[in-house]
């Protein structure tokens, strides 16, 4: 008998889920079970399976939030039933979304920060679709007004994330992707001209190239387009894909001119769930002023007896991520974001210095000047005696997720390894990673990589 009297039914009290019938069966995988099961047991078994996933605290491959304060967990829980689309039922959630848009518009120097258009999305991918559509609709309207054909739009960019390939394919726009020049980490301004014509709906500049973590020079790309306009009359807008840099540059590189301060920039997207410090499931699209979001794309929904303009691919969406984004903006402020990313950046640079001292490596990005990250390549892949893919594999044995991948065309002969440093990844963890890299490299160069060739398992 239990020492304390408890109100739970005795069978509940003493059941251990590993002694329940459900734990003796395989969990349903293709058909819904006929009967119900105990919530405790199902929860335990599902969590047990999820434990086989990689450990997100050691995931150095992702840009996305993997650590949040407990207050964010509370807010997410409280917001579970709130549907972002129900503006009438949840007017304060709608209000909070709108405040976030205007805070970001102001942070990114919109000339109409308090009145411009913008929206939350599920991430930068949805935001890219929306901003791309706005570019396409504006271009089409201008072409039709000029009595010219508007059936073959193209968009010009450097090494973009896959969301832009999706945008191009889903919405019938030709993607003109400019290959990387020798030694380049992103699009270079002088490259854009020859890819542009009267059917170009816009140029995408990336603040935080996924593959190299570097910022493309938005101001210089815009200046090149200004010159093109003066010479040819082609007036090409710039969209900035600031998926990661949008929440880093304003705090770590405040003097960098990349946002609406550049007149040619008409829209910006960013991922709240990357360096925005919101949990997974939120991104942002913001237009320079309301004039850059064509009216035909806007749907009006009832809102407290009035109407509210909305622009989204989805209908129902959770409110929690948007509320958590607002929490992060209020909680950290400029000071907090700066401090967190200064710490992340200095931890990344320290890792970079240590990797640079290791014989086989040459740094590709040392963590200075753009995202808090570091990447490296093999100085001499032929002579190293191992590949970076093998090193990724070895590090995986300690749980570290450190990806290796080739750079985009035309630098795809270079394979690099990249570590992203975010909120929740501290100096000490990276020191442990560095030590593991050193010992993996030592084993790999000695050719000791197979199972059982380490010091071994002792009973």
Ligand X SMILES: *Cc1c(COP(=O)(O)O)cnc(C)c1O
Q: What is the dihedral of CA 451, 453, 454, 457, to 10 degrees?
A: 70
CB nearer to ligand X: give 283 or 352: 283
Contact flag: residue 120 with ligand X (CB under 6 A): no
- Which of 65, 199, 200, 244 lies at the binding interface for ligand X (CB under 6 A)? 244
- Which of 59, 177, 271, 394 lies at the binding interface for ligand X (CB under 6 A)? 271
Strands 415-420 and 373-378: antiparallel
Sign of CA dihedral 99, 100, 101, 104: positive
User: Rounded to the nearest whole angstrom, what is the least distance from the CB of residue 376 to ligand X in the complex?
Assistant: 19
Contact flag: residue 216 with ligand X (CB under 6 A): no
Output the residue with the shortest Cβ distance to ligand X.
Answer: 123
Contact flag: residue 210 with ligand X (CB under 6 A): yes
Instruction: Mention every residue, 6+ apart, whose C-beta is less than 8 A from residue 296.
Output: 137
CB nearer to ligand X: give 284 or 327: 284
* Contact between residue 146 and residue 298 where contact means Cβ atoms under 8 Å apart: no
| Consecutive H or E run containing 266 | strand 265-271
Contact flag: residue 163 with ligand X (CB under 6 A): yes
User: Rounded to the nearest whole angstrom, what is the least distance from the CB of residue 123 to ligand X in the complex?
Assistant: 3
CB nearer to ligand X: give 163 or 252: 163
Instruction: Mention every residue, 6+ apart, whose C-beta is less than 8 A from residue 53.
Output: none
User: Rounded to the nearest whole angstrom, what is the least distance from the CB of residue 129 to ligand X in the complex?
Assistant: 10
User: Rounded to the nearest whole angstrom, what is the least distance from the CB of residue 61 to ligand X in the complex?
Assistant: 12
Stretch that binds ligand X, among 34-42, 119-127, 256-264, 449-457 (CB under 6 A): 119-127
Both structure tokens of 317 = 């969406």
Contact flag: residue 283 with ligand X (CB under 6 A): yes
Contact flag: residue 202 with ligand X (CB under 6 A): no
Listed as own residue / partner, the contacts of 305-309 with beta carbons closer than 8 Å and 24 or more positions apart are 308/87, 308/94, 309/117
User: Rounded to the nearest whole angstrom, what is the least distance from the CB of residue 280 to ligand X in the complex?
Assistant: 9
| Consecutive H or E run containing 235 | none
CA distances from 106 to 118, 261, 339, 340 (A): 12, 11, 20, 21
Stretch that binds ligand X, among 236-244, 258-266, 351-359, 409-417 (CB under 6 A): 236-244
User: Rounded to the nearest whole angstrom, what is the least distance from the CB of residue 267 to ligand X in the complex?
Assistant: 13
Contact flag: residue 321 with ligand X (CB under 6 A): no
Stretch that binds ligand X, among 174-182, 206-214, 406-414, 441-449 (CB under 6 A): 206-214
User: Rounded to the nearest whole angstrom, what is the least distance from the CB of residue 321 to ligand X in the complex?
Assistant: 11
The interface with ligand X within residues 26-85 (CB under 6 A) comprises 63
Both structure tokens of 451 = 């199972």
Stretch that binds ligand X, among 104-112, 123-131, 223-231, 444-452 (CB under 6 A): 123-131
* Contact between residue 135 and residue 266 where contact means Cβ atoms under 8 Å apart: yes
d(CA 164, CA 10): 58
Stretch that binds ligand X, among 120-128, 177-185, 309-317, 327-335 (CB under 6 A): 120-128
Size of the site for ligand X (CB under 6 A): 14
Stretch that binds ligand X, among 77-85, 205-213, 298-306, 408-416 (CB under 6 A): 205-213
* Contact between residue 83 and residue 90 where contact means Cβ atoms under 8 Å apart: yes
CB nearer to ligand X: give 210 or 345: 210
* Contact between residue 150 and residue 169 where contact means Cβ atoms under 8 Å apart: no
**Residue among 375, 368, 371 nearest 419 (CA):** 375
- Which of 187, 206, 228, 252 lies at the binding interface for ligand X (CB under 6 A)? 206
Listed as own residue / partner, the contacts of 355-362 with beta carbons closer than 8 Å and 24 or more positions apart are 355/434, 355/437, 358/437, 358/438, 358/441, 359/441, 360/384, 360/386, 360/441, 360/445
Instruction: Mention every residue, 6+ apart, whose C-beta is less than 8 A from residue 138.
Output: 201, 237, 292, 294
CB nearer to ligand X: give 124 or 200: 124
- Which of 214, 216, 241, 259 lies at the binding interface for ligand X (CB under 6 A)? 241
Contact flag: residue 123 with ligand X (CB under 6 A): yes
d(CA 337, CA 332): 6
User: Rounded to the nearest whole angstrom, what is the least distance from the CB of residue 65 to ligand X in the complex?
Assistant: 11
User: Rounded to the nearest whole angstrom, what is the least distance from the CB of residue 122 to ligand X in the complex?
Assistant: 7
- Which of 125, 185, 310, 404 lies at the binding interface for ligand X (CB under 6 A)? 125
Contact flag: residue 243 with ligand X (CB under 6 A): yes
d(CA 163, CA 147): 32
Contact flag: residue 267 with ligand X (CB under 6 A): no
User: Rule CB under 6 A: which residues touch ligand X?
Assistant: 63, 123-125, 161, 163, 206, 208, 210, 241, 243-244, 271, 283
């Amino acid at each position: 008998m239990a020492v304390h009297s408890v109100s739970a039914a005795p069978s509940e009290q003493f059941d251990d889920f590993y002694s329940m019938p459900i734990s003796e069966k395989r969990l349903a995988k293709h058909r819904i079970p006929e009967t119900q099961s105990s919530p405790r047991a199902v929860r335990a078994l599902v969590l047990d399976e999820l434990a086989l996933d990689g450990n997100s605290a050691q995931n150095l491959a992702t840009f996305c939030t993997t650590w949040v304060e407990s207050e964010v967990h509370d807010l997410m829980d409280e917001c579970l039933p709130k549907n972002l689309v129900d503006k009438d039922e949840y007017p304060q959630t709608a209000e909070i979304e709108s405040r976030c848009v205007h805070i970001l518009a102001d942070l990114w120097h919109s000339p109409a920060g308090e009145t411009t258009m913008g929206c939350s999305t599920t991430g930068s991918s949805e935001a890219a679709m929306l901003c791309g559509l706005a570019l396409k609709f504006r271009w089409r309207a201008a072409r039709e007004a000029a009595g010219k054909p508007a059936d073959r739009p193209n968009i010009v960019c450097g090494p973009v994330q896959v969301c832009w390939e999706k945008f191009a394919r889903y919405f019938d726009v030709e993607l003109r992707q400019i290959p990387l020049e020798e030694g380049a980490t992103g699009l270079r301004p002088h490259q854009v001209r020859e890819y542009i014509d009267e059917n170009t709906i816009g140029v995408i500049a990336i603040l935080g190239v996924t593959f190299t973590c570097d910022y493309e020079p938005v101001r210089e790309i815009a200046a090149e387009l200004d010159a093109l306009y003066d010479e040819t009359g082609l007036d090409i807008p710039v969209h900035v894909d600031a998926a990661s840099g949008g929440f880093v540059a304003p705090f770590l590189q405040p003097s960098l001119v990349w946002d609406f301060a550049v007149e040619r920039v008409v829209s910006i997207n960013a991922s709240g769930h990357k360096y925005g410090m919101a949990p997974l499931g939120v991104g942002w699209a913001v237009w320079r002023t309301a004039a850059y979001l064509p009216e035909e794309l806007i749907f009006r929904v009832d809102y407290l007896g009035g109407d509210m303009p909305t622009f989204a691919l989805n209908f129902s969406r959770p409110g929690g991520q948007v509320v958590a984004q607002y929490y992060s903006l209020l909680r950290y402020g400029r000071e907090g974001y700066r401090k967190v990313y200064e710490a992340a950046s200095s931890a990344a640079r320290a890792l970079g210095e240590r990797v640079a001292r290791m014989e086989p490596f040459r740094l590709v990005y040392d963590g200075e000047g753009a995202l808090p990250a570091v990447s490296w390549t093999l100085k001499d892949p032929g002579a190293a005696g191992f590949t970076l893919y093998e090193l990724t594999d070895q590090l995986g044995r300690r749980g570290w997720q450190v990806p290796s991948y080739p750079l985009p065309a035309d630098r795809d002969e270079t394979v690099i390894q990249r570590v992203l440093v975010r909120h929740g990844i501290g100096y000490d963890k990276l020191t442990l990673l560095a030590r593991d890299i050193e010992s993996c490299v030592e084993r790999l160069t000695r050719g000791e990589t197979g199972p059982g060739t380490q010091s071994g398992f002792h009973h």
